[in-house]
Amino acid sequence: MRIIIVGGGIAGMSTYLHLRKHLPSHSEHDITIYESHRPRSIVSSSRSQAHPNQSVNLNALSESTAIVGGGLGISPNGMRVLRDLSLGLHDRVVAQGFPAEHFIFKGANGWSLGMQSTSDKAVRAKDDAEEVCIASSRHGLWTTLRQYIVEEYGEEAIKHKKVLKLVRRLDLPTLRLQVYMLDEQGRKQVDNADLVIGADGVKSVVRNALFGDDEKFQPIYSGQSGVGGFHNTTIPPIIADNRAMVFEFGGSGFFGYSSGGPISEKQLMWWSTFETSTLHNIKAVDPRDIRHALSERHKHWKDPIIEDIVSNADVESIYPTWIMPELPHWGKRGVVLIGDAAHALDPTTGQGASQALEDSQVFSLLLAELLDRECYGQAPDRFTIDKAIKVFYEIRHPRVKTISDRGKKLAGRKANVGIVKEYFMYCFIWLLIKFPSIGKALLSDVNRELYCWSSKESIREALRNDRIDDGINEQSRLIG
């Protein structure tokens, strides 16, 4: 089987590794990742001198999955996917990041609102290895995944070519999909595939091949962008002593900070939300405007750590927040979407990377399971692929929708609010942390829902409820 993965970010590389591990007779399958850009940046100090005032095009920042500035958190469910994939890879990700065992919540007025454990120990079986949230630079996670692929499968696994479009060739008996692209010298090329996996982010070319230019299936810019960077300084005790990520809420928005790697590296990672809707031209944002807005937004906050970060900030990463409409499906006829290409999640969920990892695991395990079933040996690969795509959506869509809907409710805490709503927010957050039973009553047992979900159990349940054997036998009969 010839498989092309479009997009060399977290979702694309994770899918590659899962397919290599799980597909039966994996040596018989030809799998390639096509990524349009080489990495744009690496983690640097907050006083980078490289084009400090160069305008940034927000649309361009959304076109590549290899834009690897900024930071993220990998939740316990995401780390468990990596553990299942490879214990060695899992341990590398932990080693390059910062195990954040707690979340600390604060108010912009200086109030301490509470602390929560990020561990999944309380909701997992006693003999399960414990997982906590891993704070990491995007570059660190991306590099770790890429190095692992190169070591295991060679540099040719990832090719830097820009995919332009997909064309289906249903008129031919064997050739099914044609992928048109440009190489780094601008030369046009065509590759053929039985399966194309779109892991190419919110501005997905693969999604356009499925839904065309219909506006109702296009991402909508929210008017906000995440901004952040890294400040080379001694990690503050609130982080180092508590092994924590800090989240602060205020009437004028949101700010977070953590170590972005091992404490000894002195890499203070920070992030906030920037309202670009107030700018004259959101297609060419001047970092000086962002720094000014950042300073204005947080100038009255009572945290000296934030004051120090903002006064030294050189904006290194901007992540436009896109609102993705709910898609009626995530693929058909040999083409499937995963990660942000299918369901861009609000950063408030803290589940962007983890849900991409879950996607890659579920689709790979599902495809492997169907290819290994005896009844599918009578049918061409294309029927097996399409069945995997259909069941993949049935498994993943409900879970992702629940997480997305919860994130939309929480996203309002990052917007500007009046003084009454601000203090109500402080009291609400304090109450949820002080009395977890109230939080469970209002929001359900979120940690159990997130951390106890199982890809393998979900696949078994879906296939148990789906009459796949009858369907495949009928398809086999029809094609002779």
Domains and CATH numbers, the chain: 2-464 (3.50.50.60)
Question: Which DSSP letter does residue 345 get?
Answer: P
Question: Does the pLDDT value for residue 250 go beyond 60?
Answer: yes
Residues of 436-456 as b/e, b for ≥16 C-beta within 10 angstroms? eeebeeeeeeebebbbbeebe
Place of tokens 């006083």: 47
Could you give the CA distance from residue 253 to residue 416 in angstroms, rounded to a whole number?
A: 6
CA angle 70, 72, 74 (to 5 degrees): 155
pLDDT in tens, 274-287: 666 655 455 666 77
Question: Which DSSP letter does residue 235 get?
Answer: P
Kind plus residue range of the DSSP H or E element containing 140: helix 138-153
Q: State phi, psi for 60 to the nearest 5 degrees.
A: -65, -35
Alpha carbon of residue 208 to chain centroid: 20
Which residues are paired to 60 by β-bridges?
none
Q: State phi, psi for 387 to the nearest 5 degrees.
A: -65, -40
Q: Which amino acid is at 431?
A: L
Could you give the CA distance from residue 339 to residue 15 in angstroms, rounded to a whole number?
A: 10
Top-confidence range, 14-18, 69-73, 226-230? 14-18
Given pLDDT bands bounded at 50, 70 and 90, which one contains residue 422? confident
What's the pLDDT at 478? 34
Alpha carbon of residue 391 to chain centroid: 21
pTM to 2 decimal places: 0.88
What's the pLDDT at 16? 97
Q: Which amino acid is at 344?
A: A
> What's the rounded mean pLDDT across residues 196-219?
91
Question: Nearest-CA neighbor of 62 among 356, 319, 342?
Answer: 319
What's the pLDDT at 49? 38
Could you give the CA distance from residue 172 to residue 415 in angstroms, rounded to a whole number?
A: 53
